[in-house]
């Protein structure tokens, strides 16, 4: 019985310390709801430095995907790239965007073209974690915009809608394949 009492006291002390550590305190600020800046919400805006980067974080941290990230932000589809997945994202490089006709990117990021831009970006996302070896076995992929992109095999390597995969990076929610061309969805009339 003598050893039981100190153990109970130690347990109570540990519980009290743990509760105090996890207690949250409200902090008053001078910002009111009316003049508070609008914060973006969703999984894309959760800070986590310990997990494997998701598809969006990989693009954000890449020096070769600034245009893609700007387009994702302009279309406000960040949350689509951080969904639990698994996702396969085909990420065109800045050079791929630069190869588009002059003024295309500038026109697409305008607010009035947000829906068109979102459709193009979703055409770069496929459900599933598809490695290059799996891609070589497929003829077409169903994309997140409900359209299909053709897959060809050239010299044993998959070519997605005419784009070559130049690198692949595993993500916490799938895989990112870096591609050398922007995938443009076919017009609705040709589907």
- pLDDT tens digits for range 71-122: 999 999 998 888 778 999 999 999 999 999 999 999 999 999 999 999 999 9
List the domain range (segments joined by +) for residue 69.
51-190
* 27 within a domain of the structure (yes/no): no
In a domain, 10, yes or no: no
More confident residue, 27 or 40: 40
Q: Which residues does residue 126 pair with via DSSP β-bridges, in sequence order?
A: 88
Asked if residue 1 is part of any domain, the answer here is no
Residue 3 placed within a domain: no
- Does residue 21 form part of some domain? no
Q: Where are the alpha helices (DSSP H) in 49-88?
A: 55-60, 66-75
What contacts 108, CB < 8 A, 6 or more positions away? 71, 74, 116, 117, 120
**In contact, 48 and 75? CB cutoff 8 Å:** no
Answer whether residue 48 shows pLDDT above 80.
no
* pLDDT tens digits for range 147-189: 999 999 999 999 999 999 999 999 999 999 999 999 999 986 4
The reported pLDDT for the residue numbered 40 is: 52
Instruction: Flag whether 14 is in a domain.
Output: no
CATH of the domain at 153: 2.30.180.10
Domain count, the chain: 1
Q: Is residue 78 part of a domain?
A: yes
Whole-angstrom distance, CA of residue 12 vs CA of residue 19: 11
Q: What is the mean pLDDT of the chain?
A: 81
| Residue 124 located in a structural domain | yes
Does this model's pTM top 0.75? My answer is: no
* pLDDT at residue 67 in the model: 97
Enumerate residues 6+ apart whose C-beta is below 8 A from 91.
Answer: 55, 58, 59, 62, 65, 68, 124, 176, 177, 178, 179
């Amino acid at each position: 019985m003598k050893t039981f009492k100190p153990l109970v006291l130690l347990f109570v002390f540990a519980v009290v310390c743990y509760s105090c550590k996890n207690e949250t305190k409200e902090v008053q600020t001078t910002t009111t709801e009316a003049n508070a800046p609008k914060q973006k919400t969703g999984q894309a805006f959760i800070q986590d430095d310990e997990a494997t980067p998701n598809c969006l974080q990989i693009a954000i941290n890449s020096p070769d995907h600034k245009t893609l990230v700007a387009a994702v932000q302009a279309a406000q589809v960040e949350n689509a790239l951080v969904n639990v997945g698994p996702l396969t994202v085909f990420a065109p490089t800045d050079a791929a965007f630069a190869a588009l006709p002059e003024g295309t990117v500038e026109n697409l990021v305008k607010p009035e073209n947000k829906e068109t831009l979102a459709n193009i970006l979703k055409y770069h996302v496929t459900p599933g974690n598809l490695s290059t070896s799996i891609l070589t076995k497929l003829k077409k992929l169903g994309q997140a915009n409900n359209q299909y992109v053709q897959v060809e095999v050239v010299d044993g390597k998959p070519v997605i809608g005419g784009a070559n995969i130049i690198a692949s990076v595993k993500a916490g929610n799938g895989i990112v394949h870096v591609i050398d061309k922007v995938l443009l969805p076919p017009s609705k009339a040709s589907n």
